[in-house]
Amino acid sequence: MTADFQTAVAVYLKELAEIRLASPHTVAAYRRDLNAFGEHCGNPPLPQISRLQVQDWLVAGHAAGLAAATLARRLSALTGLLDSAVHAGLCPLNAAAGVRAPKQSTRLPRTLPPEQTAALMQPTAASADQRDLALLAVMYGAGLRVSEAVGLDLYDVDLHSCELRVFGKGNKQRIVPLPAAAADLLGSWLEARRQADVKDDQAVFLNRFGSRLSARSVQRMLKQRALTNGVDISVTPHRLRHSFATHLLTGGVDLRAIQELLGHASLATTERYTHLDIAKLTEVYDETHPRAGRRNQESAGLMDD
């Protein structure tokens, strides 16, 4: 790495993608953020970046109407770059360290009521309806991110065991169960796929050209299907994932099991998918997790101290 700003950014983003296995979406967002900082400050050498410049950049973003979440991501991108530079010995300190990100409002994710989920799954006259039904059944039935669904390869599917191998964020692998109805729809699609003009031999879900289906295409398909079937047209792939988690929890499924199914690293992340306040989450956690009792005793001990 070099202290030259743009060169340092390129090296850092390569490290982020190839070593830390950040998603392409994250890398692209961080590239935009760091380029924006460079433009705002004139691409200063890393040792010359000051805390005041960082704060001024965030204030300018706020004045331009950027959301708190966007500003927090910008700060995270710059902090990561400077952390890397400090470790490489290119600058004495991280000027972004300790700068507080703007407070983000807590927004509960919206779910799709079960009846609307069922309506979304009703057949349509769309030419790719068989594929779309299978895709929706897999996304909702297994709680997949849209990137995980379109990233499925044939060898990730085990219809006999009704399981999918999924690669989530950071390329972390997990095995998720597939409901029987979803497995049936997926099996029907895979039979039809054999008759298609296939360009991507491995992709489970193909577009009309025989190549891997894109996440953006799935979003467009959902909007059109919602319009056709009388469903809330604000439905998104991520909203289906929220719904999966919420419907499972409502049905009495263990919170830790939902965390595993979603591929979340922490319980706090799962909380955002389930529309529960943290007090209720803690109550469920304490009732279900084998170490909860010990954790409570340790917490009580700390309070006594």
The yes-or-no verdict on residue 293 having pLDDT over 80 is: no
pLDDT of residue 265: 66
Annotated active-site residue 31? The verdict is no
Quick check: 295 pLDDT over 70? Answer: no
* Residue 169 annotated among the catalytic residues of the structure: yes
**What structural domains does the chain harbor?**
5-87 (1.10.150.130), 114-237 (1.10.443.10)
CA 156 – CA 135 distance, rounded (Å) = 14
87 belongs to the catalytic site: no
Question: Pick the catalytic residue: 62, 238, 272, 275?
Answer: 238
CA distance 133 to 181: 11
Catalytic annotation, pick one of 73, 225, 264, 285: 264
CB 120 within 8 A of CB 218: no
Whether 280 shows a pLDDT value over 60: the answer reads no
Where is mean pLDDT largest: 63-72, 150-159, 232-241, 279-288?
A: 150-159
**CB atoms near residue 247 (< 10 Å):** 18
Rounded to an integer, the average pLDDT of 162-186 is 89
Residue 142 to residue 166: CA distance in whole angstroms: 10
The pLDDT score that the predictor gives to residue 128 is 93
Q: Quick one: pLDDT band at residue 283, thresholds 50, 70, 90?
A: low
Side-chain-side CA neighbours of residue 210 (13 Å) = 8
Active-site option among 169, 256, 280, 289:
169
Distance of CA 90 to the CA centre of its chain: 32
Q: How far, in Å, CA of 183 to CA of 192, rounded? A: 14
Summarize the confidence of residues 251-274 as an average pLDDT. 68
Note the pLDDT of residue 206. Answer: 95
**Catalytic-residue membership of 145:** yes
For the cut 90, the answer to whether the pLDDT of residue 69 exceeds it is: no
The pLDDT-based confidence of 237 (bands split at 50, 70, 90) is confident
Among residues 74, 241, 242, 247, which one is catalytic? 241
CA 161, 260, 137 angle in degrees (round to 5)?
A: 50
Q: Record the pTM.
A: 0.58
Task: Give the strand order in the sheet containing 163-167.
Answer: 157-158, 163-167, 173-177
Q: Is 24 helix (H, G, I), strand (E, B) or coil?
A: helix
Mean pLDDT of the chain: 82
116-141, pLDDT tens digit by residue? 888 998 999 999 999 999 999 998 88
pLDDT higher than 90, residue 34: yes
Is 264 a known active-site residue? Answer: yes
Active site residue 25: no
State pLDDT tens for residues 83-93: 999 998 888 99
Q: How far apart are CA 112 and CA 119, in angstroms?
A: 10
* Residue of 47, 148, 36 lying closest to 91 (CA atoms): 47
pLDDT reading at 62 higher than 90:
no
Q: Which of 145, 193, 242, 247 is catalytic?
A: 145
**Region of residue 276 (phi > 0: left; psi between -120 and 50: alpha; otherwise: beta):** beta
Q: Among 84-88, 108-112, 210-214, 258-262, name the one with the lowest average pLDDT.
A: 108-112
With pLDDT > 90 as the criterion, what percentage of the chain qualifies? Answer: 45
Q: Are 158 and 164 a contacting pair, CB within 8 Å?
A: yes
CA distances to 46, 80, 227, 268 from 93, in Å: 10, 12, 53, 31
Rounded Cα distance, 290 and 44, in Å: 52
User: What are the tokens at 281?
Assistant: 């989450």
Extended beta strands in the chain, E state: 157-158, 163-167, 173-177
Under the banding of pLDDT at 50, 70 and 90, the label for residue 287 is low
Q: Using pLDDT thresholds of 50, 70 and 90, give the confidence band for residue 20.
A: confident
**Angle at which helices 292-304 and 278-288 cross, to 10°:** 120
